[in-house]
Every structure is written in structure tokens, then in C-alpha cells.
Amino acid sequence: MANPPLQKCDICGEPQDTQNYEGKNICTICYDVMEDIMADYFLKVIESGNRNRPEHLYVKYIESNIKFMSDKSRIMEKVPQHLKTTEKRLLFNLSYENLTSRKRFYEYALKVLEWLKNNQWFYKYYFKNIYRCPKCGASLFDNYVKETKGEWVIISCAVCNNVVRKYYKPEIL
């Protein structure tokens, strides 16, 4: 029995060697770059929250009742700005980069970014289970701890200490 033909990556057109996102045709190279871009976005979004604002009981009650929808909205509200600033940064870095491997990374990152511009729904898909702690349900916008270990960034829930996400965060993005 013959193996089914490999699907082409929706982003770069190369053969897809494995399926990294369920139901999505994205090759490993574009997946790795996508993870870098999404990590950059996620860290910026949760860090832009107003973590230390004074809250009164009534405000807290109202917030707890609308938290789920507002967290989902928060994921999407900064997408256009993220796409724009990331593209500028990538184009700048690409124009001054001499290392072939880094140039290749920037070229792939620009392809991924272009795909994201045309498929902004992917942000919702990617973050569907990340903006809340899977263990205790706390909003990560208001209850997170960020720890950096070398080139890794670890996001944990401040309520229950559950590690929610680990990102490889090299300084090239």
C-alpha cells in the first residue's frame, strides 16, 4: 500500500513533513517560525495588561462576569499592530543581516507574517486554550509569572504556579 502524498505547506509551499497544528498544513520550518512570532505576541499582550491597578469589590465582580469574553477579545485587539511592528522589525533585521542562516529565518518569518495577515483567524485558533490557566482557570492577563532562563521564557500561573507555556526566545526576532 502506497503512502499518501505529502501535503504542501500553506505558508511556504514546501512539503509538509508532519502536522504540527491539528487540521492545518504548516511545515516544521514555518511551524518553528510561527511559534517564535506567536510567543513574541503572547508575551507582549499579557505584559501590556494592567496587572497592578486598584480594584474595588464591585469592579472585581463585574470583571469576573465578563472575563472570558474580554480575554478572548484581548487576544485579537493588538493583532494588526503586532503584524505591522513585527514586519518592520523583520525587514530592518533582514536588510542588515550578514549570516545566511539568520537571513533565511527572516525570510521565512516574513512569509509566515504575510500568511498571518491574510489568516488572522489563526490567532484565535492558536491562543484558544492559552489565555487562561488550564489547571485553575485564572486569566493569564492578570495572573501570570514570567521567568527567563537563558533563551527560554516560562509563563506560569500566579494563582496555582502551573507552568502554562515555555517559549524559546532567541533575540533574533
In a domain, 1, yes or no: no
In a domain, 16, yes or no: no
In a domain, 143, yes or no: yes
- Indicate if the pLDDT at residue 68 is higher than 50: no
SS (H, E, C) 52-91: CCCCCHHHHHHHHHHHHHHHHHHHHHCHHHHHHHHHHHHH
In a domain, 19, yes or no: no
Digit-coded pLDDT (tens) for 116-148:
999 988 988 888 777 788 899 888 877 888 898
In a domain, 5, yes or no: no
Where do the DSSP E strands lie in 62-151?
144-149
Q: What is the pLDDT of residue 114?
A: 96
Query: In the chain, how long is the greatest CA-to-CA distance?
Result: 66
pTM for this structure?
Answer: 0.74
Grid cell, residue 100, equals: 545566511
63 or 39, higher pLDDT: 39
In a domain, 7, yes or no: no
Q: Evaluate whether 46 touches 140 at the Cβ level (below 8 Å).
A: yes
Domain that holds residue 91: 28-168
In a domain, 51, yes or no: yes
The pLDDT confidence band at residue 161, using thresholds 50, 70 and 90, is: very high
In a domain, 83, yes or no: yes
115 or 66, higher pLDDT: 115
In the chain, the number of structural domains is: 1
